[in-house]
Amino acid sequence: MSQTLSTTEVSPLRLSAGEIKFYKDEGWLLIPGLLSESQAETLHGEVMTIMNQIGLSLTKLKQTSEYLAGSALDRFINSANLRAIAEQLMGGESSLYMPFTAVKSSSGGRFNFHQDNQYTRLDGPALNIWTALTPMSPENGCLQIIPRSHLNGTLGSRESEDGDGHRKIEWEPSDFLPVRMRPGDAVVFSRLTIHGSGPNQTDDPRVAYAVQFARNDVNWLDRESGEWKNLVQHPRWNTAPVAKISIPESSKDGH
């Protein structure tokens, strides 16, 4: 693994048949060392610079999908080798769906269990490559996953009680897997996999970055028109880099 962020931040990775089967069966896959420690440190610095610009307080941080053109985040998010991992797991050509900061501040609360597909409904394969930029443990609110939960399709959901616009599944799971990670490790999970995170009980922010991909034949449901639209022809989000980071209106703790 390269120790500097070059034009190919993610080294080429050919997943084994067993890894692909595990992902399809379980709905998630851990990829240790997707990035080197120095790469993770560089991305950590950029993410925290963004958070320092847009964060509300130590206990409530804003989440953003914006990243600067020409930055290390730009090269990571738009890496062909990163996209190739998604394509191997989804079995076809894929495109960037949405990147975003996933930061839980010191004393940041839990993030309710949910499926990503309970937000914007997609009708085919899509996933999240969630990369740790600090150590992840139950003590600092690591990601929590319910294996095999993707096999049940998109489940019913409701808005969380804190009024921040987040969604949650209709019951409280008691059996889940905390995903312990080192900086540079990544966990990939399906858009249908139930996941959340616990509270951060440490003095330091828990920092990760999420990059979501969807296969090119996937459509999304436009709830305003009731139409299904192809994501390639009608992108749901603007994923291009920006010249300046803006402050989003809503405040959300990262999960």
Nearest to 183 by CA among 45, 20, 8, 12: 45
Structure tokens at 7: 């034009």
**What ranges make up the beta strands (E) of the chain?**
28-31, 94-104, 111-114, 126-132, 143-145, 157-159, 167-169, 177-178, 186-190, 195-197, 206-215, 219-222, 227-230
Eight-state DSSP code of residue 10: S
pLDDT of 227 reads 97
Give me the tens of pLDDT residue by residue for the chain, a chain 255 residues long.
Answer: 344 445 447 999 999 999 999 999 999 999 999 999 999 999 999 999 999 988 765 556 678 999 999 999 999 999 999 999 999 999 999 999 999 999 998 888 888 999 999 999 999 999 999 999 999 999 999 999 999 999 999 989 888 766 566 788 788 898 999 999 999 999 999 999 999 999 999 999 999 999 999 999 999 999 999 999 999 999 999 999 999 999 877 655 567
Cα–Cα distance between 11 and 176 in angstroms, integer? 31
The Cβ of residue 193 has, within 10 Å, a number of other Cβ atoms equal to 24
DSSP 218: -
Tell me how many helices (H) and strands (E) the chain has: 4, 13
CA distance 35 to 31: 10
What pLDDT is stored for residue 249 in this prediction?
72
Give pLDDT, residue 251: 56
Strand partners, 31: 186
CB 182 within 8 A of CB 126: no
- Residue 64 CA to residue 100 CA, distance in Å, equals 5
Supply the pTM of this predicted model: 0.94
The pLDDT, as a whole number, for residue 69 is: 97
First to last CA, the chain: 27
pLDDT at 55: 78
Q: In terms of C-beta density within 10 A (0-12 exposed, 13-18 middle, 19 or more buried), how is residue 131 classed?
A: buried
Residue 211: per-residue pLDDT: 98
Confidence at residue 254, expressed as pLDDT on a 0 to 100 scale: 61
